[in-house]
Structure 1
Amino acid sequence: MADGVDEPEEAAELGEKEKLEIAKWFLTNAPAGEIHYVAKDIRSILGDDKIYETAAAEAFPLYNKALLIVLELPDRSGDVIITTYGELDENNYFDPRTAQVATVDHVKQVCTNLRPASDEELPSPYIEEFRCALDAELCKYVGEAYPKGTCAVYCTRGKDVEGPGTDFEFAVVISAARHSPQNFCNGSWRSIWKLEFKDELQVVEIHGKLQVGAHYFEEGNVQLDANNECKDSTIMQSPEDCAVSITSMIHHHESEYMASLEASYLDLPDTTFKDLRRKLPVTRTLFPWHNTLQFSLTRDITKELGIGK
């Protein structure tokens, strides 16, 4: 105390654990395509390489799987999607289309090694027939609908089924991104479709989750984070017929959701933006749009300064 006034208490220094958790939060919540920019700033602010490297090692795998990032295989035979459906362990991911396993450096976001999948990691010929047919149809759809889009079909249950009579499940993953930091915008489309093939009922139940993210940051910070869920079903048929039917339904639901987003953008001026406006100004008086001359700034300044007398 000095002259009867209490000295302000200094802010308590954050411990290593708190710094680590804060750094992880910022990294895992970085917009699509921007985690390396966030990481650079986090590292500079922390000033502690040990804490940063620990945070990065924990956050990057979570971010990569959440954003369904796509990495080119070392032999350039295709791409691998970083998703829990293809995750064999923290650093190894299965690509069902090429039947290979890629070793991934999460922080650098590159594939460092590649090996053929083992027989135990591959589905049975019966399951693979359904998977391949669906994968082929999806590739056509994604190639037309999403520039630089990538898709994959994983067997999530029943990969050892040898023939009719048993249920099995697939997961369809679609990932598309548009990164243009030089134009101050980045975005991503992610959709996951869970397919339940019910042999006894001869039906395929379809459950989809769609996620869209966009970030525009020229002289501002505007973000979109939208998601939607839907479900459908179709008759279980031959692998080729199932593939066509399922892809058609995925196409329908994704196109419908995209159309709803576009419609909401058109309504923004009359709905969202209008609701953000103050109902009354701080003067509690509505602005007289019918007679704006009474608020003439030129006239008021002329009067105050005595100009034109």
Structure 2
Amino acid sequence: MATGNAAAVSAFIEGAPPGELSEVVTDIKALTADDPSLLQSAQAAYRRYNEDQFATVTLPGGSEDILIGQEQVLVSSHNSLGNDRYYDVESSSSFTFDHNARKASSVQSYTVAYQHNELLRALLRSLSIHAREHFPSSTYSVCPSSSDSTLVMLLVANKYSPSNFWNGRWRSTYFLNPSSCTLSGNIKVDVHYYEDGNVRLTTSKSVRDTSISGSITAPEVMKQIARMEKQYQEELNKSFTSLSEGTFKGLRRQLPVTRQKVEWEKVGGYRLGQDIGGGRQR
């Protein structure tokens, strides 16, 4: 039974909506008050959640870049050094990340050694421009893959509006192979709306190998990425229109059971169960 409870706690943590992990943890604490060890043993779940959701954190003592303006760094499996330590190419630093408290510490200088270092730096600059142009609040990163054969470009954009009962997150992951001149990856969108209900949209789109024409340059790669993201947003807009005008309308009854429209100006004179329901007068 304890194993099942531990698995349930991990599932709740890993399924937390954008910007609501602390609320989920608070609820878990209330539900497991008689066995606090359940939450304490969920370190692996915290790590999987933060890495998968591209958690962002401000480095202690860090300063804002005047040109790029990025104050936070990103946490993922792609820029992990192991033992809860991660690195950031732009700030040339590594740091320890506390997955429970979501805080960074032990910042050290760190330089990435990569055969296509000039391309990496150029992509980082282009990605920063792309992020500022299309995402008001975002954090990004470019780093070599574990095999050193590809470059990984990561971007997360969070928009939280708890006062209006909704939160959302956009995540992009792209893999650029300089040898084959191909680009692949995926885009994920997660939105939670919870005013007088609980509605959550989780959707994703895979980006298949796309050839980069000519020699690989950072502007050309960003051009391809911008095109794919615009196409995905247009697809989402069409899907929302189809839902509101088709599927959702189909869930609503167009007429009452009498198959006649209600004359609302005379509603005060209706006798429930007789005039509306079609019952006979006694």
TM-score (norm 1): 0.78
Q: Give the match for residue 235 of structure 1.
A: 213
Equivalent residues in 2 for 1:25-64 (5 A)? 25-47=11-33, 48-55=35-42, 57-64=43-50
**Residues 134 and 299 (structure 1 numbering): CA distance in 2 closer, same or farther, change over 3 Å?**
closer
Distance 1:246 1:301, change over 3 A: closer
Secondary structure of 2:16's counterpart equals coil
How far is the alpha carbon of 1:230 from its aligned partner?
2.1
Aligned counterparts of 1:130 and 1:299: Cα–Cα separation in 2: 75
Unaligned regions of 5+ residues in structure 2, if any? 64-70, 276-282
Residue correspondence of structure 1 range 150-229 to structure 2 within 5 A? 150-156=139-145, 159=148, 168-198=149-179, 203-229=180-206
CA displacement at 1:274 relative to structure 2: 2.5
The equivalent residue for 2:123 is 134
The 3 A distance-change label for structure 1 pair 302 and 193 is closer
1:219 and 1:303 map into 2 onto residues whose CA distance is 32
Please tell me the residue identity of whatever aligns with 1:101.
S
- Following superposition, which runs of at least 4 residues in structure 1 exceed 4 angstroms of deviation? 278-281, 301-304
C-alpha distance in structure 1 between counterparts of 2:38 and 2:234, whole Å: 44
Contact 2:73–2:140 (8 Å) recurs in 1: no
Give structure 1 stretches of 5+ with no counterpart.
Answer: 1-14, 160-167, 305-309
Shift of 1:269: 2.4
Q: Give the counterpart letter for 2:78 in structure 1.
A: Y
Partner Cα separation in structure 1 for residue 199 and residue 11 of structure 2? 19
Q: What TM-score does the superposition give when structure 2 sets the normalisation length?
A: 0.85
Q: Is the 8 A contact 1:80 1:93 kept in 2?
A: no
How far apart in 2 are the matches of 1:268 and 1:302?
34
1:163 corresponds to: none
What amino acid is the match of 2:198?
A: N
Q: Which amino acid aligns with 2:194?
A: F
Kindly provide the CA deviation profile for residues 146-168 of structure 1, in whole angstroms up to 9, marking residues without a partner as x.
01111111111564xxxxxxxx3
Q: 1:123 aligns with which of 98, 113, 116?
A: 113
Contact 2:78 2:146 in 1 (8 A): no
C-alpha distance in 1 between matches for 2:270 and 2:250: 33
The aligned amino acid for 2:8 is I
1:134 corresponds to which letter in structure 2?
A: L
Q: How many residues align?
A: 265
1:276 to 239, 244, 251: 251
SS in 2 for 1:235: coil
Query: Separation in 1 of the partners of 2:110 and 2:41?
Result: 30
Question: Does the Cα contact within 8 Å between 2:190 and 2:201 map onto a contact in 1?
Answer: yes
Larger Rg, first or second structure (1 or 2): 1
Please state whether the residue corresponding to 1:244 is helix, strand or coil: helix
Per-residue CA distance 1:109-142 (angstroms, 9 max, x = gap): 1102211126xxx224x41101001110110010
Following superposition, the deviation at residue 208 of structure 1 comes to 2.4
Identity over aligned pairs, percent: 25
Question: Which residue number corresponds to residue 52 of structure 2?
Answer: 66
Task: Sort the Cα spacing of 1:303 and 1:176 in 2 relative to 1 into closer, same or farther, 3 A.
Answer: closer
3-state SS of 1:154 partner: strand
Distance 1:115 1:84 in 2: 19
The amino acid that maps onto 1:256 is Q
**Given the superposition, is the C-alpha separation of residues 286 and 93 from structure 1 closer, same or farther in structure 2, using an over 3 Å criterion?**
farther
Aligned residue for 1:26, secondary structure, equals helix
What amino acid does structure 1 have at the position aligned with 2:187? L
Larger relative helix fraction: 1
Match of 2:9 in 1: 23
Q: CA deviation at 1:278?
A: 6.1
